[in-house]
Structure 1
Amino acid sequence: MSDPYPDQISALARWSLIQALWPPALVAAISIAHSLVAPEAYGSSLAIVARLAAIAGAGAVLAVSAILFFDALLFRLMASYEDEQKGGAAVDDILARMRLKPVPPQTRSLANRAAGTRRLVRLQRVALTVFIVALGLPLLAVAA
């Protein structure tokens, strides 16, 4: 029976990369379209606050996307090792050398690492929702 680790880690690396790339592209496309369609929607103080919230949401999307991209690279590194234990140890070593995380007493499992990435994706979705809703509020006020 073959080891499922290489396929699992490669799929996780691909998924993380996709999750890192499409939300910033969507933020850019929506921002461009919004500035072309509704430049007059920002006269009130509510609209200014909404615009600031949208900027914060966009910034959060970009920040989390950068972390997800880094995660994808770390998963690719893990995939270059023959088993989960060695790949996880290599990632932990790199994170410790970069002073991003201390060396854990025990190497984290792939499931644990994947759960952390899923938490980041949920956070990214919340930030994307804040961005979209905040951009839409002034448009609703203008339409009313």
Structure 2
Amino acid sequence: MNGENFPEKAEVFAARVMVQAAWPILLVVAAVMAAPIIGLVAGPQTTALSAVAWLVAAASAVATLALSALLLFDALLFRLMASHATEAAGGAAVDDVLARMRLKPAAAGGRSLDHRMAGTQGLLTRQRMALAVFAAACLVAAFV
């Protein structure tokens, strides 16, 4: 990777992850706030299927919010990385923070920016799956 392009690439990725973490939070909060209104419109009858769907919606909402929090933390780590001149120095700073917080053991060899970005992409995929389960469960619960 080009050393001159490293801070810009890390900063752009951090901003993108920040946005991708924020909008699902807003969507889940809006859906949870609208749930009582949907319940009034749909009617007071509660079936076993709708009760299970509400439980699945609640669990997937918690999962979506937790994954969004992890993504926000990752975005801040990418911003920390971008504040350094070289990829090695930025990676060492992130590894040091994670080791001091006892989240990861001190790494012998630093991971590249691309490897770290791939890990965050995996979190984004999991967040999207949890959000899809939440949306599907809310639809089933509201209209069954």
TM-score (norm 1): 0.92
Write the distance in 2 (CA, Å) between the matches of 1:138 and 1:124: 21
Identity across matched positions, percent? 46
Gaps of 5+ in 1: none
Deviation at 1:38, TM superposition (A): 2.8
Q: Match for residue 117 of structure 1?
A: 120
Deviation at 1:2, TM superposition (A): 7.5
Moved over 3 A (4+): none
Q: Match for residue 17 of structure 1?
A: 18
Deviation at 1:19, TM superposition (A): 1.3
Q: Which moved more, 1:35-44 or 1:9-18?
A: 35-44
Give RMSD over aligned pairs: 1.6
Q: Match for residue 31 of structure 1?
A: 32
Question: In 1, are the aligned partners of 2:3 and 2:87 still within 8 Å (CA)?
Answer: no
**Residue aligned with 1:73, SS:** helix
Deviation at 1:29, TM superposition (A): 1.2
**Residue aligned with 1:108, SS:** coil
Gaps of 5+ in 2: none
Q: Work out the number of aligned pairs and report it.
A: 141
Write the distance in 1 (CA, Å) between the matches of 2:66 and 2:129: 13
Change (3 A) 1:79 1:41: farther
Which residue among 64, 83, 86 is the counterpart of 1:83? 86
